[in-house]
Structures are given as structure tokens and as C-alpha cells.
Structure 1
Amino acid sequence: MAKQKQTQKVSFEEVVERGCGLDVHKKEIVATVSGTGIESETRTFQSTTRSLTELKEWLLALGVTHVAMESTGVYWKPVMNILEPGGFTIMVVNARHIKYVPGHKTDKKDSAWICKLLRAGLLKGSFVPGRNQRDLRDLTRYRRKLVQQQSAEHNRMIRIFEDANLKLSSVFSNIRGKMCTRVIDAVIAGETDPQKLAALCTHRRLKASKEEIALAVEGCFTEHHKFMIRAIRTSISNIEAEIDHLDKEIERRMQPFEAQIQQLCEIPGIDVTSVNELLAEIGVDMEVFPTAEHLTSWAGLAPGNNESAGKKKTHTPTTATKPQKR
């Protein structure tokens, strides 16, 4: 007698009356709705503004209140921009928490699975700040990138000097300093006499002697090196101007948090720039983090806890509810 295979259907207690699960991709979004009084249905929308607006109107017409989607790169952002004003409770969830059962995987099944987990109350949304804070994040993160570019340009300048046999970094602690800049200007202008170049360095805090400086600035500085240094210094100047422009805009947007900034600046080792970046990342409302441990875990500063059979296994810091960098 042949045995008939029986398939078990997983069911959950439903805590969300009407919900929608979104499987987000670069060009399209697969949406599955389910809930009390409506039929379960799956539709595919394009990631364009017009198509996403149609998605929002469809969900509003069905009375959907909750929407869940994966934090897939930056592709969730256009969806958030359109759905956020619609009054939905939106969850951006870590992809590891909603991984579908392997085998026969499709976009429709993914969106249906997300919808089922959403309605069962089994999803925990990542911390997604409001629009103003997200904009502030863009500014502070871009500023950080520019500072890194600026540092890279200075390192590139040092390599050019090394190629020209000028050992400036050996006698000057900072090639951005006044004395070193004076020497660089003179070299670019055509001065090659080591003694005259060393005579330009008159700062009393210089540790290197005039003889050491003269030996360090004696090199083979060609027209090619001059061209490269001019180009790099122009790039650094442009970056500095852009950083200054960003600082003014960040300062303007940080005015509502002046009290919090002054309070945090009282911490030893913390300056205004660090405070601005901190507030841009986590905001001032700590209610979104139940405990201090939760905040450190979100920031990736807490070690994971992976124990099995009484043995603790090595694990990377957990960022369980943290959206991907954007």
C-alpha cells in the first residue's frame, strides 16, 4: 500500500489585521497583501515613482496598515519615500530574519512569506530615522568621505616628494604645517638651494636642525613633480572648500539640538564634529533603543552570543537590527 505524502501547512496567530510583504529589487517590487476581509493577492510593480504611487493607492484602498520589506542595499529607500507619507507602519527588516525556506524560491513566495511573518508579529523592524535625520546622515557621511579623500591626497603628495628625493616627512611632523608649506611653495617656484630652503624654516618648535632640513630638501624635483604637486594641492583646496560648505549646512540643521550638542561636548575627547556624526546616526530619541546594550549591538560594538551544547562559539559582532549602510 503506497504511502501518501502529507504536507503540513505552517500557521501563525495573526496580530496584524491587514498587512503587505514586499520583495524589493532594483527594477521591480513584488507585493503580497493578506488580511481580514480581503483576499490574498500578489502584484508586481516597477520601482519608478509612478508605479510606486500606484502601489500606495492599492494598499490604501485595501485598508492595509502594516508594510514589511527587506533592507536590500539602497533599493528600499524609493519605496520608503513613497509609502512613508501614506501613514503606514513600515518595517525595514534584516534579510537574515526573513530568509525563506530553501527550495523552489521565487519572488512571489518571498513576498508572501514576509507578509505572513508580518501578520504574525514575528518581524522586528530596523531603526529607520525620520526624513530629516536621514538627510543629516547623508551630509555627515559625505563629509567623512571628503575628509578621507583629503587625507589620501596628502599621502599622495608625500609619495610624490619621496619620488623626488625630498624627505619632507622625515623632518616635518606635518606637511600641512606653515613651515613645510613655505618650503613646498619655494620648491615649486624654482628654488633648489638646500641652504636657502632650510633658512625658510624659522619656527622655534621645529625639532630638526637647519642641517637636517637642508639634507632632506636636497633632491631631484622635476617639472613633472611640480605639475603633480600643483594638481594635488588644487584638489585639496577644492575638498577643503566643500568640507567648509558642508560644515555650515550641518551647523544650520543642528541648531534644534544645540542643548544636546553642548551636553555631549562635555565628554572628554568628544568634539562638535563627533557629536554631529553621533546625533546624525542615532538621533536624540533613545526610546527607539530599549537598552544601552541594544544600542551597542545596533552599532556593531557588542560581541555576539552563540552558545550550543554548553560551548560558546566564535561569532562576529551582531548587527541584528541594523539596516545596511546607505
Structure 2
Amino acid sequence: MPRKSAKASPELTRHIHGAAAIDIGSRMHMAAVSPETAKNPIRSFGTFTSDLHTLAEWFRACNVTSVAMESTGVYWIPVYEILEQHGFEVILVNARYARNVPGRKTDVSDAAWLQQLHSYGLLRGSFRPQADIAALRAYLRQRERLVEYTAAHIQHMQKALMEMNLQLHHVVSDITGVTGMQIIRAIVGGERDPDTLAASRDIRCRSSVEVISAALMGNYRDEHVFALTQALELYDIYQERIVACDRRMEGLLLRLSHKSAKPAADLPKPRIRTKQVSAPSFDVRSILYRLLGVDLTQIHGIGVSLALKLVAECGTDLRAWPSAKHFTSWLCLAPGNKISGGRLLSSRTRRSSSRAAALLRLAATTLGRSDTALGAFYRRLSARVGKAKAVTATARKIAVLFYNTLRHGMAYADPGADHYDEIHRKRVVSNLHRRAQSLGFILQPISGDPQPAVS
């Protein structure tokens, strides 16, 4: 009998006929379009602004509607913004999901391969928030850099004080506080008398005037005072720049809040009344409540600064993720599925450079000693599987609460650590009853106080 021919596999069909791709570089961008639309489907363009507008005009002549590019460093940002201005649909692609065929690693082959994958609809675009949220994120990241630079000059001031043997950091909790800054400015201004310097003590300082005066008896050499003066001047400059960033963020948030509907209820009472260190100088909580309609700071682990950073990283509209599971998977906080041969090989979470995931992990670590349900969950899991996995699991729970609150308007109410421990106890007892019953036994509670066993 003649052998039957194998059934032909279905060919891939093009879903995006006007697909194009760009291999991003620092000095040159390699662009590729469909071979059916141009005689030379792959062209190189420079990185100047005029070159990028020429690239957009060439795409328009080739009937391109959608463009894919890899998010290479920061070189993709001007290309992305200019192509968006020209009306193209632009998607960012993770380089891990668009690797070329091994053995052919050139700019030309990378661009052609990316264009082919995009035309078949095999590429998924990375999340990028809307323009206003992207601007807020840029301001916030700039502010974080300024805070880091400020911290370096605080260390320089402390070093200069130590070189003069002024033990100021031992008698005040923070040298940039009210007492510390008044004393440092007096030293820079020429004051050397310890008693006069100690008189600048704020009434809230725990150390007495005598202790502060004893700590300020030092060796005021000119070179060390000069270093302290320059460090203080640079510290003041960065503080002014941070305030300028705060003003920009406040104005942007106010414009966004005016566009949104006003919340029906009044702003709830703050859960924490103490001001966070390095928090913005404006009322972030009330502005975010007018913008979002919910108070994210009611979730344990999320403060004012963290709420602002999460909104800047994830946006105000979370419809890009259909469910909380999609959201936690995007954050790389959900367990992974590495299955082969019907067997689960690994369920470790994927590595991620997401700022939002790092912020949520940091929030999870602060809940370890809190008397909350999340704190009890963290402590139970930490004792069983270790702190690293407990941090990831707790961060995932916070992410789910953040998603449900912002997306569905859920009102968060913490049941408390005792309530969580009781629910966990009932679950354990129920599992023990089920296992005992499967083995032919029945568990009975101990009446009264159990007596210790005697050997």
C-alpha cells in the first residue's frame, strides 16, 4: 500500500500587514518593513532628530501602521515619542522574547527577524503608562536621584565633623534635624564656643545642653571647616532642587485630579500620623484621594511615598491587567511554571528589575513585626520556608490588595493578627481531621489541661 503523506502543518498567517521593526542603537537605528512594500525593505537611519522624522516619513510611504522595537537602554525613548507623534502604534518588546536565530547576530538580521515576528503577531508589547503618568514617573525618579545625591553630602558633613572630633551624631538622632542643622550652620558661620552651640538645641531633643556641649568640644581646623562648609552648601542646593521637583509633581497631580470625578465620601482618617522621612513637601495623600477616589494608605505596608511611587509606576488605570493574577505575574511576584513531561520542574519566581516589585518587597519587610494579618502571614511563612520566600509572598498579597483597591474600589479592613492566627488554626485542625479520617482514626479534643507525659 502506498504510504499516506503526512498532514501538512498550518502555515503562519500575517495578522499585521503594516508591521515594521527597529533595531535600536546608540549611533544608528536599523529599520525593517515588509519586503512587499519597498524594494529595499531594510534601511539604516541616524539618531539625530531630523533622521528620526525621516524614518517616520519612510514608514508612512511604506504604509506602516505598527512598529515594534526593543527597549534598549534609554535610546528608544526619542524614537518612541517621535513615532507616536506621527500617529504610529509603537510597542516595546522585551529582548528576552525576541531573540534571533542563533548564529546570525547582526543589526540587519535582528531588524528583519523582529519585523517578521511582529507581522505574525508573535510579539507582546511591554506596559507603558499614559503620557501624564510617564511625566510623573520621570519627576519622581529625578527626585529619587536628588535624594541619593543629598545623602552623599550628609555623609561628607558627618565625616568633616568626625575629623574635628565633634561627636554630634552621638547626641542627636539625625544631624539634618532641627538641632543638628542649627549647630552645623553656626559652626560654618564662625561660632566655636560649645556652650553657645549647645544653646541651639531644640526643645524636642532628648540630649541635654550639657551633653551636647561636651560633644562639641573639638579641633576646629580650617581645612575641616572648609570641607563642612562646602558639604553644607551642596546639601542646601540639592534640597532646593528637591523642592522644585515637588512643585512640578504637585502641579501635575492637581491637573490630573481636576480631570477625574470627585470621590463620593470624605477622606478617611490617616492610619499613620507621623511624617515619613524624605516624603514630598505637599499633601500627597489628599491629592491622590481626589485623583483615584480611594485611599491607598489604608493598606498596611503602603505609606504616602510608596502609594505615589506605585501610581507613577503602574498608572491610575489598571485595566491593562485583566485580573490580579495577571498583575502579580507582570510584577514577577507570582510562582512560575516550568513544566516538562507533565512534571513541575520549578515554580520559582522570575527575576525582575521592576521598581514596583522592589517597592512592594520593601513594604513586605516592614510588616514583619506589625500586629496585622499581613504581619502574622509573614511570620508564619518565614518560620516555615524562610524570609526570602515570605517577603515575596507577602509582597504579592500587598500587590493584590493594591490592584483590587485601585481597580475595583475595594475597601480594605485589616482583621488583625489574632483573627488570622485563628483562621489558620482552624484550617490546620480541619486538615488533621481529614487525614486522620482517611487513615481510619477520629480525632478528639483534649478535655481540660493536658497532663505532661511521664516516661
Separation of aligned partners in 1, 2:120 and 2:228: 62
The alignment status of 1:12 with 2:12, answered yes or no, reads yes
Q: Give per-residue Cα distances to partners, 1:177-226, cap 9 Å, x unaligned.
A: 222233323333444443444344362x4332344323321211211122
Unaligned runs of at least 5 residues, structure 1: 1-9
Specify every segment of 5 or more residues in structure 2 that has no aligned partner in the other structure, as ranges: 1-9, 258-286, 357-455
User: SS of the residue aligned with 1:21?
Assistant: strand
8 Å CA contact 2:335–2:347 kept in 1: the answer is no
Could you say which structure has the higher strand fraction?
1
Query: 1:264 — aligned with what?
Result: 295
Distance 1:132 1:260, change over 3 A: closer
Measured after TM superposition, the shift of residue 252 of structure 1 is 0.9
> Would the aligned equivalents of 2:35 and 2:41 in 1 still touch at CA under 8 Å?
no
* 2:98 match: 98
Query: Which string of whole-angstrom CA distances, capped at 9 and with x for unpartnered residues, describes residues 257-300 of structure 1?
Result: 34235623542565554443332222112112233233334445
Superposition TM-score, scaled by structure 1 size: 0.84
Q: Which residue of 1 aligns with 2:159?
A: 159
Change (3 A) 1:173 1:108: same
Residues matched between the structures, number? 311
CA distance in 1, matches of 2:106, 2:236: 51
CA root-mean-square deviation: 2.8
Task: Tell me, yes or no, if structure 1 residue 229 matches structure 2 residue 228.
Answer: yes
The code of the aligned residue for 1:264 comes to: D
Correspondence 1:288 to 2:288: no
Q: In 1, Cα distance between the equivalents of 2:317 and 2:167?
A: 51
Deviation at residue 134 of structure 1 after TM alignment: 2.4
Name the TM-score, length of structure 2 as normaliser: 0.62
Instruction: Write the distance in 2 (CA, Å) between the matches of 1:296 and 1:319.
Output: 14
SS of structure 1 residue aligned to 2:34: strand
Whether 1:277 aligns to 2:309 is yes
Of residues 27-36 and 310-319 in structure 1, the stretch that sits farther from structure 2 once superposed is 310-319
Partner secondary structure for residue 67 of structure 2? strand
CA contact (8 A) 1:297 1:319 kept: no
Counterpart residue number, 1:312: 346
Could you say if the C-alpha distance between residues 118 and 235 of structure 1 is closer, same or farther in structure 2, counting changes exceeding 3 Å? same
Cross-structure match for 1:244: 243
**Residue 161 of structure 1: how far off its partner (Å):** 0.9
- Within a 5 Å distance, the mapping from 1:141-160 to structure 2 comes to 141-160=141-160
The answer to whether the Cα contact below 8 Å between 1:53 and 1:82 also exists between their aligned partners in 2 is yes
Matched position secondary structure for 2:41 = strand
Q: Is the 8 A contact 2:160 2:225 kept in 1?
A: no
Partners of 1:155 and 1:37 in 2: CA distance: 60
Contact 2:160 2:224 in 1 (8 A): yes
- Secondary structure of the 1:59 match is helix
Percent identity over the alignment is 34
